[in-house]
Structure formats: C-alpha cells, structure tokens
Structure 1
Amino acid sequence: MMQMKRTLLAVLGAISLSACAQAPEADATGTPSKAPVVSSPMLPATPEPAEGTPEARALAAVRTLNPNLQPEQIGAAPLPGFREVIVSGQVVYVSDDGRYMFLPGQGGALYDTVSERSLSEASLAGLRRDLLKTIPASERIVFAPANPKYTVTVFTDVECGYCRRLHSEIAEYNQQGIAIEYLAFPRMGIGSEDYNKMVAVWCASDRKQALTDAKAEKSVPEHDCKNTVSMQYNIGQRAGLTGTPMILTEDGTQVGGYVPPAALRETLDKLAAEKAEPAAVGNAAPGGNAAAGGA
C-alpha cells in the first residue's frame, strides 16, 4: 500500500516529514514526489552481498520501499531467523527469506514485502475504530456534502500548516464525495496556548466558523465551557498520533498525513475495492458465502 511505503520511508529517513509530522507533498496531479536517494557520504558504500544469501534477500526487501536505499550495514540480528539492516540511522529487521520487515521505530510494525501491507495495521485500525466510537458525534466538527461517499476522521490542530492547507481545500474534499469529521489534537499539549485556542473553537456557538477563522489566523474570542478537547487529545495519543493532521477511515485505517482531495478519493476507492475483492471471490466460489447462507 502506497501510504504504508510513505510511512516506512519516512521512518527510514528517505522522506523528511514536515513540522506537522506529515506525509510527503504531492504535485499538481496528486502524485507523491519521489523520494531522494539515501546515501552516507561519510562512509564507503556497503558492498553488495552475494546473491542468494539472507543478506541479499534483506537488501532486496528494503529496496522494495525505494530501490535507491543504501544500508550502512547488514548482518546477523539478535532475533533468530532475521537479518539486521541499518539504513539512515534506523534499524530494520528482515526475515531470512526476505518477506517480512520489522521496524522497532514504528511501534513494532511488521511489514509483508510480498503483499506490501502492514500486518500490524489491522490490529491498530481496530483499536482506533473502537477509540473513535467513544467520542460523541456531537463533539465532532463536520464538513460534509449532501450525500457523502466516504467519511474520514481528521485529528487537527489550528497551528499546523498542513492542517490549514487541508482545511483551505475543504470544499474540494466535499466535491470528491468525502465528509471530513474533525477532532481536536492541540499538538503543543494540554494547557498550551494552542490548546486554549482549540477550547475556544469547541466552545463557540458556531464551531465550523470558529475553526475556519482559527485556521486562517483570525481571532476567535476566548471562551471556556464543558468540552471534550482534552479527551480528544488523549484519544489521539492512544490511537498512535504523533503529528497533525492524521486522517483515519471509518474502520480506523490511517491514510495520511495531508493528502490532496483527488488523491484521498483515489486512496479511499482503492481501499473499498480491496475490501470488496475477498467478498466477491467468496461469493463466486463453490460452497462460498452465498451458498453457505443456509435456510
């Protein structure tokens, strides 16, 4: 999955995240910019390992992310059945058959290089989905078209540049059939000036206008009330949020960072198609789900 590759590349230092812990920018067509070549100018290049060795398979696995990645070191790992690869100052463990990559720096993410999927994501998505359910619908600031095709949750901040950029394109997201449900994540922390601004937004009589004004650096009258900003912030932390914006699908899958409107629609369409494929196969197969429905 393209988003997973972006995330892994970011962890490995191949893509520099913005101050808002953001996915790489896309060009005008919505295509992500290519990752730069990663090399270590102070050290000689690591010799290419002999073909057919675990080290060679480990190198090939890492290069499924970016063919230009040049590890500083490849050797035996303290974990039996794995090689240890050091690239851009990060340690990656690759199974000796080259199929699985384990990144301790990604909260223990396990990546399948064949299916190009995070095997940890399903568990994380389920956790995020359950956490989001604890936040009442009345506490979300919603910008939606009349009949949305998709709904995403976006943890946002009024100070983050990419959050502001996303919000400046809110009409385009809606035109793409995407409803945006905002939750608060004041990245400066509870009690900060940033936090107070978000409390003012959530306590405003017109939250949508107050959020729009705050993101445009317009003054929002300071206001305090019984609110869930702290709760939303804590839920964001538990969901694994490290920066804003964070875009989550209805099932809890993370799809960004800032993603341009057309690119987000494309991503959501692909995810929907992937989910539909197993069901289609099962229904078509002899003795599949359709036949197993029973009386």
Structure 2
Amino acid sequence: MSLHSSLLFSALCVASLSACAQAPDSGEAGAPAGTAVAEAAAPVGQIRTVPGTPEDRARQAIESISPDIQIDAIGPAPLAGFREVIVSGQTLYVSDDGKYLLQGSLFDVEARRDVSRAGVAAVRRRLLAEVPDEERIVFAPPNPRYTVSVFTDVECGYCRKLHQEIAEYNRRGIAVEYLAFPRMGPDTADFALMEAVWCAPDRRKALTDAKNGRPVPPRSCDNPVARHYELGQRVGLTGTPMIVTRSGVQMPGYLPPDALLSMLQQVEAAEAADADRGG
C-alpha cells in the first residue's frame, strides 16, 4: 500500500491506500511511546495555535504547502530550533522560524532509539481511544494480556490469513479489536461489503463469512466504516492489516500469533524500561 506523493513529501497528500501488508522491515516494535507531543484542542480539520509562537509558524508553514492538511499535533521537538508536527501518522520537523521542513526518522545516537515515533504513537493512542467499543468487532479471550486494534479489509489476503488464526491469537492472550478499512475506498463494492458486515445482526459471523468468501446480505445502517477509513489515514496506515497496540505502537504488518506475542512482549519491555528512565 502506498501514499501518493506530493512534490515535497508524501505525508501531506494522502490520496489512496490500496494494498495488503505483511511484516515489512520498518516496523515500530519497541518504539518508545512516552514522549509527549503537545496537542491543541481545535475544530475538526484545524489546529489552534497562539499567534507569533513557533507552533503557529510551524502550522502556517505546513498549511502554506496545502491548506487542506489536517495537523494532529504540534509540540516541542527533540531537535533544538524545531517544532514536531504530526500529519497523517508521519512526523515532520519545522524550524521555529517556519522556513525549513524536515521529514523522516530522528535517531538519538546516545539512547540508540528513534525518537520520532513517540509523538506519532501518542496521537494514534489518542485517536483510537475516541473509537467507541460498540464500533469495534471484537474477538477476545476471557482475560486478555494484550489488546490490539486492527484495521482490516475483507478482500486483503493477509487480513484473511490473520482472521483464520484468530483463535490462536486469543489462546495467546491477545484480544483483537477490528476497525474497518476497505482499501479500495468509498463507492466501491469492497466498501459496500464492509458496510454490510458492520450492519449485520451478528457482526462477528458476517466478518468471518466475508473473509471466507461467503455471501453477506447487503444492508445499510448508520455505520462507522467511513469514519474508520478516515481514521486509518490519520493514524498513518500504510497497509492492511494495520495492527496497533494500546500504547499506539504500530506492528509491522501481518504477524503470526507467536510472532505477534513476541513483539508485544518486546514493546511492553521497552516501554517499561523507558518509564524507568523517566523517558
């Protein structure tokens, strides 16, 4: 799945998302999620900043490239003289005078970690926390040790593979909470099928049927599929299934049950170590 690039950087022009993802090499397992990024309360599609501040100049710089960009957070950066800006699940750095912009990972050599991921994780955590429980399709053991949110598509091969193993994830203490991401986009048969799943009397059965290629009766209702689709883009979805931990860390695509459990344990240990360091 790819983000359509603008002339400057892809994060500012998310146009379409259309592929399945198996674990790529650039996962975020172990990424710290403790660094806070200042979040501004603002109307939908806007972010409020105080005129004359570095945050305001950063906002204006981003919006000068495209006024339609939705900024999710602006705050201090670990790089002196810059603000950290979170856009579509990507970290950008804008100089305090609003003149320069950097995109990409920022690696702390001494701490040996990518410090650009913490802000993104914080935004993901906040946005996912806003999704009501009743909008999720949940497959969980009685007392889960871990809970992950999974943006899924019924047509995606790796999404289907994950769902075929759902009982094994549950046996390992992992609860899976599905959100909808029809990767073909609005006004497609894929989108309509996912709406039918979310409108079904038994969503769990309908989702399982759809992923097994069995028919799901068309239905319409007040459903969250469009909201989930937009949310997926805001949290930086680059492939389905997108697996996100409770702390906002993104897993690297599809992972078999044992591999996912191992990575969740690694993330937990890394976050505990980070907390001990006061990071």
Corresponding position of 1:118: 114
Cα distance in structure 1, aligned partners of 2:113 and 2:167: 31
Say whether the 8 Å CA contact 1:152–1:249 is kept in structure 2. Answer: yes
Are residue 255 (structure 1) and residue 238 (structure 2) matched? Answer: no
| Aligned length, in residue pairs | 185
Corresponding position of 2:92: none
Are residue 264 (structure 1) and residue 266 (structure 2) matched? Answer: no
Q: Secondary structure at the match of 1:109?
A: coil
Which residue of 166, 179, 197 maps to 2:162?
166
Bigger mean CA offset, 188-197 vs 109-118: 109-118
Cα distance in structure 2, aligned partners of 1:271 and 1:20: 23
Deviations 1:222-268 (A, max 9, x none): 00000110000000001111220100000111012101111111111
Higher relative contact order by CA 8 Å / sep ≥ 6: 1 or 2? 2
Say whether the 8 Å CA contact 2:21–2:254 is kept in structure 1. Answer: no
Q: Cα–Cα, structure 1 residues 204 and 179, in superposed 2: closer, same or farther, change >3 Å?
A: same
Deviations 1:22-72 (A, max 9, x none): 3259xxxxxxxxxxxxxxxxxxxxxxxxxxxxxxxxxxxxxxxxxxxxxxx
Amino acid at match of 1:128: R
Cα distance in structure 1, aligned partners of 2:244 and 2:197: 22
Deviations 1:103-128 (A, max 9, x none): x7xx6232446655322111101111
Amino acid at match of 1:220: V
Corresponding position of 2:22: 22
Say whether the 8 Å CA contact 1:248–1:255 is kept in structure 2. Answer: yes
Are residue 134 (structure 1) and residue 140 (structure 2) matched? Answer: no
Cα distance in structure 1, aligned partners of 2:171 and 2:257: 9
The percentage of aligned residue pairs carrying the same residue is 58
Cα distance in structure 1, aligned partners of 2:110 and 2:241: 29
Which residue of 173, 177, 182 maps to 1:181?
177
Which residue of 218, 241, 244 maps to 2:214?
218
The normalised TM-score by structure 2 is 0.62
Q: Cα–Cα, structure 1 residues 279 and 114, in superposed 2: closer, same or farther, change >3 Å?
A: closer
Corresponding position of 1:62: none
- Give ranges in structure 1 of 5+ residues lacking alignment: 1-17, 26-103, 283-295
Corresponding position of 2:146: 150
Say whether the 8 Å CA contact 2:24–2:252 is kept in structure 1. Answer: no
Which residue of 189, 193, 200 maps to 1:197?
193
Cα distance in structure 2, aligned partners of 1:143 and 1:205: 16
Q: Cα–Cα, structure 1 residues 130 and 166, in superposed 2: closer, same or farther, change >3 Å?
A: same
Give the C-alpha shift of residue 207 in structure 1.
Answer: 0.2
Amino acid at match of 1:163: C
Cα distance in structure 1, aligned partners of 2:275 and 2:247: 17
Cα distance in structure 2, aligned partners of 1:242 and 1:111: 21
Q: Which protein has the larger Cα radius of gyration, Structure 1 or Structure 2? A: 1
Say whether the 8 Å CA contact 1:140–1:181 is kept in structure 2. Answer: yes
- Give ranges in structure 2 of 5+ residues lacking alignment: 1-17, 26-101
Amino acid at match of 2:156: C
Cα distance in structure 2, aligned partners of 1:113 and 1:164: 39
Cα distance in structure 1, aligned partners of 2:191 and 2:209: 16
Say whether the 8 Å CA contact 1:248–1:256 is kept in structure 2. Answer: no
Cα distance in structure 2, aligned partners of 1:212 and 1:156: 12
Say whether the 8 Å CA contact 1:147–1:177 is kept in structure 2. Answer: yes
Deviations 1:164-191 (A, max 9, x none): 0000000000011000000000000011
Cα distance in structure 2, aligned partners of 1:193 and 1:19: 16
Q: Cα–Cα, structure 1 residues 216 and 112, in superposed 2: closer, same or farther, change >3 Å?
A: farther
Cα distance in structure 2, aligned partners of 1:175 and 1:273: 21
The normalised TM-score by structure 1 is 0.59
